[in-house]
Structures are given as structure tokens and as C-alpha cells.
Amino acid sequence: MNFFKNSNLAQAWLVLLLATVFGTALAGIQVKLSPVIEANKTRETMEKIPDLVLDTSMATQTATQDLIIQSRVIEIEKNGITKFYPVYDVQQKNGSLAGHVAKARGQGYADKIEVLIGLDAGGNTITGLFILDQKETPGLGNKIVEKTWRDQFINKLSDTPLIVVKSKTGQPNEIDGISGATISSRSVTGIVNTTIADIRPRLLPIPKTEETE
């Protein structure tokens, strides 16, 4: 009896029980709320798409309903691992292809960073970058969400990988790192490089989908 009283299990039963109860409760909440959270993210993605593929001046003139947005998933097999990239193909009402928006995620400094990358038709230049989700260090790493930093990616050519530098030397593929947040800057740039390298050969032609009239 004394042996049992002193055993670890008898000491920690409350902790174990609470962990199980809370774990189950959180799993339930996750199951219930995650569709809502995903819907929020999808809505935000849809709202950002015009900004990411069109010039700012054009984006304000063009309402979202003037664009035809089709989504597909590009599957890439690399080193035995299959990666999935949700891609949105954006067409003008008259049928001309305006560009593509790819959703990608990768490891940041603190947690996964989720980004939207805007590309022109065929994926030759970057037309925009948006951070959907991040948990980087407040005040340092979370500056990746700021427009001034993200806008550096606009008009970069996608055939040369981008590099993060401390001070620019005039090369076209340089991205100014955020001081104090080199890892976060590199993570985002790395996600952009990998995504473009992976999906660019597969962007065109756009697979035909049945017209839903």
C-alpha cells in the first residue's frame, strides 16, 4: 500500500486525468471550430487575390466579381514527399489570364508561416505577397506582415532565387532582411523561392474545367 502511495502514478493521477479531460475538450472544440476558421482564411484569400495579381491602381477599379477565380491543387513529388499547393487562376471577364495566386506554408522562426504569392500569367514575375498566418516574435519577426517589406517582392523575376541581404548591393534578386529578424525574413523568402520553383513549370496550361453556367 505504501509502495503504491509513493509511486509516480499515484502522485500524478490528477495531472494525467486533467490532461486527458482538457485534451478531449480541446479536440472537440477544434473539430467544431476549424471549419469556421478555415472558411475565414478562404474568405480572406479571396479578398486578397485581386490585390496580388493586379496593379494597385487596377485592383481598385476592378471589383472581385469582374474576375473569374478558379482554384486547383498542384501536386509536386519531391524526394519522395508529395507537396500540395492550392493555386488560384485569375482570369479577366474577357477571358484573358491575369495571373495566379499560390498558397504555401513553411517553417518560420516560431511557427508555420502561411503566405499567398501572386504571379503573373505563366509565373515569370512576382506580382504580390501576403502573409496569411504567422506567429513570429512581436516587434521583430512579425514585421514580415508589413506592406513596405512585402512590397519588395513585387516585380522580382522568378527565374533567379531571391536572397536575403543585410545591405543591398544593387543585384535585382536581393531582399532587404528585417534587422533582428533574419530568420523570419529568410523563411518567407525561402517559402517564396521553393514554391515558385515547384509550381512554375505546372502553371500553364490551365487544366480545363467544366464550365458552370
Q: How far is CA 95 from CA 23, 66, 99, 100, 213, in A?
A: 50, 11, 12, 14, 15
Q: Give the nearest distance from C-beta 211 to other proteins in angstroms.
A: 32
Contacts (CB under 8 A) with other proteins, residues 185-204? none
Query: Is the alpha carbon torsion for 36, 42, 44, 46 positive or negative?
Result: negative
Residue count of the chain, please give it.
213
3-state SS, residue 167: coil
Q: Give the nearest distance from C-beta 29 to other proteins in angstroms.
A: 6
Residue 18 binds other proteins, judged by CB under 8 A: yes
Contact 190, 109 (CB under 8 A): no
Selected binder of other proteins within 37, 58, 157, 204 (CB under 8 A): 37
Map residues 98-137 to x or -, x wherever contact with other proteins holds by CB under 8 A.
------------x-----------------------xx--
d(CA 127, CA 153): 8
Selected binder of other proteins within 1, 9, 14, 63 (CB under 8 A): 14
d(CA 81, CA 79): 6
Residue 139 binds other proteins, judged by CB under 8 A: yes
Q: Select 93 or 135, whichever has its Cβ closest to other proteins.
A: 135
> Given the rule CB under 8 A, which residues bind other proteins?
11-12, 14-15, 18-19, 22, 25-26, 29-30, 33, 36-37, 40, 44, 110, 134-135, 138-139, 142
